[in-house]
Amino acid sequence: MAHLLSPSCSLDISSSSKLYCKQSIQGSKVIPSSFMLQTFNAPIGRLVLQGKRLQRSSCIVRATTLPISQEAKTQPSSGSHDTSSGPSERKKVMVIGGDGYCGWATALHLSNKNYEVSIVDNLVRRLFDHQLGLDSLTPISSIHNRIRRWKSETGKNIQLYIGDICDFEFLSETFESFKPDAVVHFGEQRSAPYSMIDRSRAVFTQKNNVIGTLNVLFAIKEFREDCHLVKLGTMGEYGTPNIDIEEGYITITHNGRTDTLPYPKQASSFYHLSKVHDSNNIAFTCKAWGIRATDLNQGVVYGVRTDETEMHEELCNRFDYDGVFGTALNRFCVQVAVGHPLTVYGKGGQTRGYLDIRDTIQCVELAIANPAQRGEFRVFNQFTEQFSVNELASLVTKAGKKLGLKVQTLSVPNPRVEAEEHYYNAKHTKLVELGLKPHLLSDSLIDSLLNFAIKFEDRIDAKQIMPSVFWRKIGVKPKTVAA
């Protein structure tokens, strides 16, 4: 048995001690080439990647805020990048969480579209993998190698700031240094199961997400009051009401009076609840301080390839298939590849909105190109199609059979607390009105996802497939799972 995570390896990033790990690049330039992680009470022991030990009983991930982009100019080696539709004056976009699944694809896409891009990330997602014994299906390069490769492929710089946005001093430095026109905020703990493992993960998720977002709002107010916040929310904030889901607001007539109010939220995990709280904080600061914000209530994202990540294997995106971070379709494709039955939770009637990762990046670009007004809190539902879990399982089964694979479906007890059969009809027209051209889930896409899973079959750890986190069993003790 191995523990998943120490309760107090709380990714509590020091705000006072600065560990600038220096590596000389082109003379006096300094980039964050290494960092040190120290956990206390961590059953897996101290994880020291590089660097020296600090005299603090907390987990420090700290690097300089100096941008990596000060490397020598290199010529693009590929002509495939597209700058045709970029802004005439280069807008500066800070992508918080830019080392993650949606953030990496978005950062590359925006850079390719000639936006000036920076990535802010504390790499905590990689740490979760270390601590839970998980790994992306696809091999992913370090953020430093990713950015160097991007530059050598396209000639374009992406500036890198490694640090925790819960550390306001760090975030202030990044704002003052980069001066963003728009901030795309992906930088949160984004797994519902992770937030339901035990008390410490529930607390971590809410602290990380709510305080991080609050800091971003304060940084905008203090340093860049005209900056547009594009924040990733989730369709899961709405839950599954027995009426149509509107885009953010609903007009209600009650006792003869009418008002347009925020659509009711019925979140179903501590993670989803953190997103609801974020939305409320953002809405409040739009009113109170005149912040301009777009809340993108995103559905479940699938797929791995985008034009940019295709350019080189070092640009490859992560692909999670495990029971904690894997999303439904990605998980099913991997299950087919290793001959594991598709794990349908409960009755399988759970219906949600889904979208291709190529549409995530399109939606974010559309939101940036058409910013909210000062004081406006805009909400877009960001998905392209709805499926029930049973419908997804049958699409994957059909595609698997076409490839000659044997596919079975297994109904497993639902680890979550949720309706398993319900009405679901969510509006999603606003992004289409702005110009979104959806990539719909077709047989060919599932075929290519399946082939992708088959290609990396050797990297699949079948033990990670079954659900290991149960909503009703969450307790106060740090939880362990079989390694």
Ligand X SMILES: NC(=O)c1ccc[n+]([C@@H]2O[C@H](COP(=O)([O-])OP(=O)(O)OC[C@H]3O[C@@H](n4cnc5c(N)ncnc54)[C@H](O)[C@@H]3O)[C@@H](O)[C@H]2O)c1
Active site residues: 234, 271, 275
Phi, psi of 149 (to 5 degrees): -65, -40
Site string for ligand X, 104-143 (x = CB under 6 A): -----------------xxxxx------------------
Minimum distance, C-beta of residue 65 to ligand X, in the bound complex (Å): 12
268 is a site residue for ligand X (CB under 6 A): no
Q: Where are the beta strands (DSSP E) in 269-312?
A: 292-298, 300-302
Q: How far is CA 131 from the centre of its chain?
A: 18
Number of shown-chain residues binding ligand X (CB under 6 A)? 27
Q: CA torsion, points 283, 284, 289, 293, in degrees to nearest 10?
A: -10
100 is a site residue for ligand X (CB under 6 A): yes
Minimum distance, C-beta of residue 220 to ligand X, in the bound complex (Å): 16
Closer to ligand X by CB, 159 or 208: give it: 208
Return the residue matching tokens 């035990």.
Answer: 198
232 is a site residue for ligand X (CB under 6 A): yes
Task: Figure out which of the listed residues 67, 97, 348, 415 binds ligand X, where binding follows CB under 6 A.
Answer: 97
Residues in CB range of 446: below 8 A, 6 or more apart = 329, 333, 395, 396, 399
Among the listed ranges 161-169, 174-182, 303-311, 473-481, the one in contact with ligand X (CB under 6 A) is 161-169
Minimal CB distance to ligand X: which residue? Answer: 100
Q: Give the span between the Cα atoms of 266 and 276, in whole angstroms.
A: 9
Closer to ligand X by CB, 209 or 343: give it: 209
The per-type count for the chain, helices as H runs and strands as E runs, is 13, 18
Minimum distance, C-beta of residue 301 to ligand X, in the bound complex (Å): 4
Closer to ligand X by CB, 308 or 407: give it: 308
Q: Return the structure tokens found at 55.
A: 């005299």
Minimum distance, C-beta of residue 99 to ligand X, in the bound complex (Å): 4
Q: Return the structure tokens found at 318.
A: 């992560």
Half-sphere exposure of 58 (CA within 13 A, CB side): 11
Q: How many residues are recorded in the chain?
A: 483
Query: DSSP states of 106-123 as a string?
Result: HHHHHHHTT-EEEEEE--
CA angle 246, 247, 250 (to 5 degrees): 50
Task: Figure out which of the listed residues 39, 157, 205, 208 binds ligand X, where binding follows CB under 6 A.
Answer: 208
Task: Figure out which of the listed residues 111, 157, 195, 327 binds ligand X, where binding follows CB under 6 A.
Answer: 327
303 is a site residue for ligand X (CB under 6 A): no
Residues forming contacts to ligand X in the complex (CB under 6 A) are 97, 99-103, 121-125, 164-166, 186-190, 208, 212, 232, 234, 298, 300-301, 327
